[in-house]
Chain A
Amino acid sequence: MAFIRRYIPLVTQSLKNVYIGEQRRKIHRWVAPTLMALKSRENKQGGKVINPRNTFLEWNLEAELYAFGKRLSENFDSDLLLQAFTDRSYVIKEEMKQKEMEFDIKMKDNRELAEEGRKFMEQYIQLYLETVLPKFPMEGIASIHNHLTSEKVLANVSLHLGTKDIILADEYPVDNYTLANAFKAIVGALLRSSGEEQAAHFVRDFVITNLQGQDVNEFWHIEDPWTMLTDLIAKTGSKLEPRLIGEVGKNTLLACYRVGLYLDKKMLSSGFGETVATAKEMAAREALKKIFGTEDNMYPINFKLNGIPKSSCNSRYQVSAS
């Protein structure tokens, strides 16, 4: 692109005095072959070279770290923040360099902070999910929790907070593991510099909001919903009865069956499918959603809970997914 931009003024200048009949800017015939030749030369030398942003002339790490804190409207301890951005690989590289030049400056990497941040984040996310989804069983909470603390999600959050250029690592662009690790370390640094509540709100605003617009049932795959439902119902002592309440297009490709589940002769849920078995399974899934309070028309998850919610482990039930 830079090549074209550089030569477009030349092209347009030479065309200024020429009458152009059609409303189209002419691009010379040599432009495409030249760009192709340049591209092939680049490929021969091993692809496009991406220069790390921090090797540019216009780079000031101190200013970047200050702006990073301001961007998130948090007050970080500047030493801790720098430590959070220092990856282990960078420290190793620097130590090798220092050995060659025979001097020794101690550097701290972010492993300790990341571990601290990870612990805090996992604990807080668990408590938060238990509070906003009060009827959802433990296994479901655990799978949402796993999704939120997965490397992919954390790396995405980290990338969108602008850590990519600031991270000190031996490679550029940094991989997902480093990004996620840096994010955990940032949480750790915030925990140390501003306290638990501030760190909790940080995690809530950037990690838990990833659930916005998502269906929480999608994160938990229930292998056999019918068995799970009957086990749950058996505890209450009621009787569950599936009934075929509609069938259309029997023995055709477009067959559709509808099964309703009745609990003490009152309809609990209904589901449809191309066979009776699928319809029954869908009805069971629908019923489970109703019991867990995660129907399609549930209220959106509350992302504004302040403070760290209290644990209520005793009331939570566990469903054994067979």
Chain B
Amino acid sequence: MSNSNLFLKSAFVRAPLQNGVGRYVCQLQRIVLKFCKSHGGSRGIRDFIEQDLVNFAKQNPSVVVYLKPRRHRSPAVVAEYLNGDRVWMSMHLKTHSEITKWIEVLRTQQGDVSGARLRKYQYTDHPSLQGPWTPFTFKDPELNVAQLPDPKFGANNRIPMSATEKLRIMFEKQKISDEEVKTGE
């Protein structure tokens, strides 16, 4: 499956509103716990409400907590974030400890992160520190004082050696060494 077929919107790693440059703002603004007072599927969330909810609200005064009892319907948690995201999560048949962990996830994330596909794991506004490349960017400083034309800088040494040339050089070398051998005698 290619990315264009995925129903996930793509995103970069970004902090909303430079969060943390000035001061930290918890991005979860309100959370609604929907549950049934009698049904077995809501057991875990009822336990959470009885044991942990007051502490949760005390530790996070910036989060508005709403409880919404609904008769004979399965439990759910709806988290709303400062950037306008709304995350719905079913808590049906989840245990107390599972719910504690999921609510911690909802509290610490910055929006609907599971609904977005990260294109990269890093992000920068300025991909190049050096600026655009020009022919002068990595210019040899020696050229500044050279007297042109100079065979050192003007030599055309970019074309690779041809096979014929290689053969010719090998032949020359061989000839020289043969002559040396003869003179050695």
Contact = CB atoms under 8 A, between A and B. Distances in A.
Interface bracket on A:
35 or more
Interface residues of B, number: 28
A66 B32 CA distance: 17
A67 B135 contact: no
Interface stretch (A34-42, A204-212, A307-315): A204-212
Interface in A28-78: 57-60, 63-64, 66-67, 70-73
A272 B134 contact: yes
Contacts of A297: 129
Interface in B2-37: 16-18, 21-23, 25-26, 29-30, 32
Nearest to A300: B21
B25 A72 contact: yes
B33 to A, nearest CB: 10
Contacts of A249: 135
Given A256-B134, A303-B21, A58 B32 contact: yes
A296 B32 CA distance: 47
A237 interface: no
Nearest to B124: A213
Contacts of A99: none
Interface stretch (B57-65, B163-171, B172-180): B57-65
A180 to B, nearest CB: 14
B184 interface: no
Contacts of B18: 209-210, 212
Nearest to A245: B136
A161 B136 CA distance: 48
Contacts of A12: none
A70 B84 contact: no
A205 B22 CA distance: 4
A64 B30 CA distance: 9
Contacts of A63: 64
B59 to A, nearest CB: 11
Interface of B: 16-18, 21-23, 25-26, 29-30, 32, 61-64, 66, 68, 82-84, 125-126, 129, 131, 134-136, 139
5 contacts: A64-B64, A160-B82, A160-B83, A206-B17, A296-B131
